[in-house]
Amino acid sequence: MTFSHPDWKNVKSYESDYLFQHHKSGDILMVNSFCREFQTESLKKLAHRSFRDVEQVRIIEEKEISFHQRSAYRIKGEGKVDGVLVSLNLLNLRRDHCYFDFLSISSKKKNSGSEADFENFLSSVRFSDEK
């Protein structure tokens, strides 16, 4: 992962492959991968499962897209995490028998530009077999 932005710091995490935190707002960008897991459920179902612990979740937009020549699912929503109102933006896909999800969690009270940064974050994604 080559994501680099002066406002985002790469944070060590034992729960995510990559975790970046916005130094002012505390917003989060993360990547998780699971190889040989989650191969039979639809990407839509897996995306909704990622939001299962969000209280008062409201889906704003969802659609199938193509990402790195693979079918992917994109979902945007909002809800409460630990009592805090947040915006959520998720993209997931399968590649080489692995399931990947890319997630942005940003506070609804602060405007850190996380939506644009999430797009830059996704643009930085390169898989090992890509040039």
In sequence order, the β-bridge partners of residue 9 are 21
Is residue 25 in a domain? yes
pLDDT in tens, 8-18: 999 998 889 99
Query: Using alpha carbons only, what angle is made at residue 58 by residues 51 and 75, rounded to the nearest 5 degrees?
Result: 55
* pTM, full prediction: 0.87
The answer to whether residue 128 is domain-embedded is no
pLDDT per position as a tens digit, 59-99: 999 999 999 999 999 999 999 999 989 999 999 999 989 99
> Does residue 114 form part of some domain?
yes
Within-domain flag for 131:
no
The stretch 103-127 carries a mean pLDDT of 82
Read off the CATH number of the domain in which 111 is found. 3.40.1000.10
Q: How many domains does the chain have?
A: 1
CA distance 19 to 101: 12
Residues contacting residue 130 through CB under 8 Å, at least 6 positions apart: 68
**Is 1 within a domain?**
no
**Is residue 35 situated within a structural domain?**
yes
Residue 62's identity, in one-letter code, is E
**Position 45 in a domain:** yes
Compute the CA torsion angle 120, 54, 74, 21 (nearest 10 deg): 10
Residue 130 falls inside a structural domain? no
Percentage of residues in the chain with pLDDT exceeding 90? 60
pLDDT tens, position by position, 29-65: 999 999 988 888 999 999 999 999 899 999 999 999 9
Expressed as residue numbers, the domain containing 21 is 8-123
